[in-house]
Structure formats: structure tokens, C-alpha cells
Amino acid sequence: MIKPQFSVLLLLISQSADITFVLIRVVKWGNGAKLGKYRWYENGSNRLKHTIRRWLFS
């Protein structure tokens, strides 16, 4: 199981929204039955990335 902290780390590493989307898809596909648990990453990825960037560059 991929921990939420690791997913945030992936968002930090990938500055591209497209790459982030692909990573989220891979995470969701890899977790099979846990899809619902990771759905919010797809919906909130842009908001989360914006928040992280605000933390890093504020």
C-alpha cells in the first residue's frame, strides 16, 4: 500500500500536472480494490500541488 506521504512526494518530484495525473492513474490502477481511497488525489491534485508550491515558495 502506498502511503499518502509518498504520493505527496511524487507530487513534489513531478512539477508537471500531466506527469502527476499519470502517476495518480498508476497508483489507482496498482491498488485495485483501494481505488476509492485514492480518488481524492485525482480530484484534488492541482489544489494540493498549488498548496505545496505556496508552502515551498512563500
Model confidence over 33-48: pLDDT tens digits? 455 555 555 556 667 7
Give pairs for 35-41: CB < 8 Å, separation 24+. Answer: 38/7, 41/7
Q: What percent of the chain has pLDDT over 90?
A: 0
Cα dihedral 15, 41, 49, 2 sign = negative
Q: Which one is predicted more confidently, 32 or 9?
A: 9
Domain count, the chain: 1
**Statement: residue 20 has pLDDT above 60:** yes
CB 32 within 8 A of CB 46: no
CB 38 within 8 A of CB 23: no
Residues 6 or more apart from 12 whose CB is under 8 A from it?
Answer: 52
Q: Which one is predicted more confidently, 11 or 51?
A: 51
pLDDT at 33: 47
Residue 9 lies in domain: 4-57
pLDDT at 43: 57
